[in-house]
Amino acid sequence: MVRKTKEEAQLTRQQIIDAAREVFLTRGVNRTTMQDIARQAGVTRGAVYWHFSNKSELFHAMREQVFLPLIDRMDDTLLVAQMENPLASIEQFLCGTIQTLEESAPIREMYEIMMIKCEYVDEFSDVLQQILSNCSGIIDNIELAYRRAKEQGQLHAGQDPALLAIDTHLFFVGLLNMWVKDTQGSQLRPRAMQLIASHMALRRA
């Protein structure tokens, strides 16, 4: 029984991607073999090599599948309704990201893989550049929001929107990092929302 339907083939492809994510998480990207992935997906290496020419391609496919929609959502949150209440939109952006991590296991796993289960060398080094350019976009959007907030007198006087934006972004990066590393969920995860509120409260006039 070989030669599945096109739809069945797409299903296998998806199963392979899911399997890769699961194995990457436990074994790390580098130590994960095509055999590992195939076993986890319930297929042979033949199937994996049919859909992806190598591990790097599979990695990128897995990453883009969860990351691209996520980035879209981020952009939406930060740009939409930024006019009315800019500080609230920043806060909602931060909270929304954490909430997404809490709700979606695949996204949570992706973050963990990207942060502590992947070495950014050779074929993977360009991913870092993508991440950096994505960060630049986020900073720009946050800065825009702070600028609007300042115009509306919602900030303390003498605060530079550009510096505030980077400060918030660094807070964000640190939060994501520690949130992911706090696998036990005992230290930081329960306090994430409170920390975001506190961070934003510091800025409000």
Contacting residues toward DNA, per CB under 7 A: 1-6, 8-9, 12-13, 33-35, 38, 43-47, 49-51, 53-55
- H-type helices in 52-204, by residue range? 55-79, 86-103, 105-116, 125-151, 161-181, 192-201
Query: Is the CB of 55 or the CB of 148 nearer to DNA?
Result: 55
Output the six-digit token pair for 169: 């972004």
- Given DNA, a copy of itself, none, residue 21, with its beta carbon under 5 to 8 Å by kind, binds none
Task: Report the residue number, 7 or 122, with the smaller CB distance to a copy of itself.
Answer: 122
Nearer to a copy of itself, 105 or 128 (CB): 128
* Selection from 129, 128, 155 nearest residue 142 by Cα: 155
Per-residue binding letters, 151-170, with a copy of itself (x by CB under 8 A)? --------xx--xx-xx-xx
In the complex with a copy of itself, the residue whose CB is nearer, 4 or 181, is 181
Rg of the chain over CA atoms, in angstroms? 20
- 112 is written with which tokens? 């963990």
**Residue 59, C-beta contacts closer than 8 angstroms, at least 6 positions apart:** 20, 24, 29, 124
What mask, x for binding a copy of itself by CB under 8 A, covers residues 170 to 189?
xxxxxx-xx--xx----xx-
Q: What's the min distance (Å) between Cβ of 51 and DNA? A: 6
